[in-house]
């Protein structure tokens, strides 16, 4: 990875205005675990081409992960979707960010939007079930649980989250 980073850095030095090269450098830096340097490359990338949704997405991931700039991460995910990034993916990341910010009702809304976009992605149900249960919305959690069983990309955590709730609520037989 270090060799590839050096090569792309040399290319970037002679193509300072190339958004795609800066985005590629950012991805290599992420791969190398150089998050601070990666975010710098992605930010430079969108300065040259603000329509690169992949760079906006990475900015959101890195702000959420490393710098803990959660409002900035939320804005980056919203921008990624506005520029044509995958909506369900962006909504999931936005929902996680909102949950981290303590905005669970908004997080649940985003997960429900994401489910409407991609009803076969099981991780969305798992996350939404956890949010609904945290908010005390047991009926919604039960409905999401039932729907999660039909997801093409089934996520076992959805079942575990819901059955853990049932056990904790003294409904072990139903959980079984």
pLDDT in tens, 32-41: 999 999 999 9
Rounded Cα–Cα distance for residues 162 and 142 (Å) = 8
**What pTM was estimated for this model as a whole?**
0.90
What pLDDT is stored for residue 68 in this prediction? 78
pLDDT in tens, 116-169: 999 999 999 999 999 999 999 999 999 999 999 999 999 999 999 999 999 999
Question: Bridge partners of 153?
Answer: 121
pLDDT band at 67 (very low <50, low <70, confident <90, very high): low
Is the CB of residue 112 less than 8 Å from the CB of residue 141?
no
**Residue-level length of the chain:** 176
């Amino acid at each position: 990875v270090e060799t590839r980073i050096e090569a792309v850095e040399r290319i970037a030095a002679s193509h300072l205005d190339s958004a795609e090269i800066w985005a590629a450098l950012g991805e290599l830096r992420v791969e190398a675990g150089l998050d601070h340097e990666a975010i710098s490359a992605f930010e430079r990338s969108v300065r040259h081409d603000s329509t690169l949704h992949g760079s906006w997405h990475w900015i959101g991931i890195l702000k959420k992960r490393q710098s803990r700039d959660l409002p900035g991460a939320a804005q980056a995910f919203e921008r990624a979707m506005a520029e044509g990034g995958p909506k369900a993916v962006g909504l999931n990341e936005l929902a996680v960010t909102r949950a981290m910010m303590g905005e669970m009702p908004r997080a649940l809304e985003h997960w429900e939007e994401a489910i409407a976009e991609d009803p076969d992605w099981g991780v969305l149900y798992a996350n939404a079930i956890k949010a609904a249960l945290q908010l005390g919305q047991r009926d919604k959690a039960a409905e999401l649980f039932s729907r999660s069983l039909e997801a093409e990309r089934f996520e076992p955590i959805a079942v575990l989250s819901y059955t853990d709730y049932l056990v904790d609520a003294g409904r072990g037989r139903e959980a079984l």
